[in-house]
Amino acid sequence: MESALDLFGSQSALRPAGQGALEIFDLTVAMVVVFGVVFAGVMALVWVAWRRDRPAGDWWVWSGGVVLPLVAILALMAGSTAVLVASTRPAPEAMVVEVTGHQFWWDIVYDPEGVALRDANELVLPRGRPVTLRLASADVIHSFWVPSISGKADMIPGRVNTLTVTANEAGRFRGQCAEFCGLSHPRMAFEVVVLEPAAFDRWLAEVQGEATDAARPDLVDGREIFVEYGCPACHEVRGVAEGGRLGPDLTRVGARGSLGAGMWRMNQGNLAGWIADVGDMKPGAKMPSYNQLSGPELRAVSAWLASLR
């Protein structure tokens, strides 16, 4: 499987673009330096010990064997605990986003107590503002991980974990499920799109309504086929068919950067191939393949979906 990294931005804990990732990166560098110094010192002492004839006294054993490791490890533990506590504490003024893991996609609800905007497989964040993620799972254990933005947090059925993230850089970053969750676990990715704060506010206001272009006259056949073949049983398109929650919300599917949870570029060609043969593109996905659609029907429904924004 070709990597989608070059298509979908950065996925590297060594290229931090968020507050949590930066803290973890600094902690990693500090650990490498401290442990490196300790290691070099021990090697130097080994050299000294070899040159001496008599065995070392108790003082060396106690200070070098017990006190020094204890102090060093406790200091590093304090540092890493501080990073962990800071990243999991909900920020009181932060916007809440609910992210729920499914086999093998991500359900996303912005501000669940307020506008409750539902979307999927693409997380949009404002630059420089803390956002509290409420992480849950609908089936098995998943793990939410955007290495460039923050540390990872498990999504455990029956439990809600919180993770507060602050993105420091606008751009596109790739996230990936980090806990084996089934056949298509490696194909359960997503994109994080970090917008400037003003652009984020505009975006949030714009996408709350019904799907634009959902009733374009030249694409109306596609919408009818979508309804006729029962797609709304699982997929919601606001303004066309509401209530389907088993699969990703498709209200703005055509505006996403990727298809199939961060795996392919979003375009009509990939959409048509996906509908006709899901099992091939994402083994184990719950959506059945719709190759019972005739050629013209497949063309119409994929053109309509690609137009939804």
Partner 1 sequence: MTRRAEYGAAILLTAAAVAAMAWAAVRPGERLFAPVVDWTGAALGEVTGRFGGGNAQDRPDPDVSSQDVFGGDADRGAGLMVAHGCGACHTIPGVAGARGSVGPHLSGFADRAYVAGILPNEPGGLVRWLVDPPAHSPQTAMPDLGVTEAEARDMATYLYTLRGG
Binding site for partner 1 (CB under 8 A): 1-2, 12, 14-15, 29, 32-33, 36, 39-40, 43-44, 46-47, 50, 264-265, 267-274, 276-277, 280-281, 291, 293-296, 298-299, 302-303
Nearer to partner 1, 29 or 86 (CB): 29
Could you tell me the smallest distance in angstroms from the CB atom of residue 99 to partner 1? Answer: 26
Nearer to partner 1, 250 or 272 (CB): 272
Could you tell me the smallest distance in angstroms from the CB atom of residue 208 to partner 1? Answer: 29
Nearer to partner 1, 45 or 160 (CB): 45
Nearer to partner 1, 44 or 116 (CB): 44
CA distance 82 to 70: 18
Nearer to partner 1, 40 or 77 (CB): 40
Give the other-Cβ count within 10 Å of 164's Cβ. Answer: 18
Could you tell me the smallest distance in angstroms from the CB atom of residue 237 to partner 1? Answer: 19
CA distance 144 to 244: 24
Could you tell me the smallest distance in angstroms from the CB atom of residue 118 to partner 1? Answer: 25
Nearer to partner 1, 153 or 303 (CB): 303
Could you tell me the smallest distance in angstroms from the CB atom of residue 260 to partner 1? Answer: 9
CA distance 23 to 82: 10
Q: Which residues of 106-122 are buried (b: 16+ CB within 10 A; e: fewer)?
A: bbbbbeeeeeebbbbbb
CA distance 38 to 145: 31
Could you tell me the smallest distance in angstroms from the CB atom of residue 1 to partner 1? Answer: 8
126: tokens are: 């404002």
Q: Which residues of 186-221 are buried (b: 16+ CB within 10 A; e: fewer)?
A: ebbbbbbbbbeeeebeeebeebeeebbebeeeebeb
Q: Are 202 and 163 in contact (CB under 8 A)?
A: no
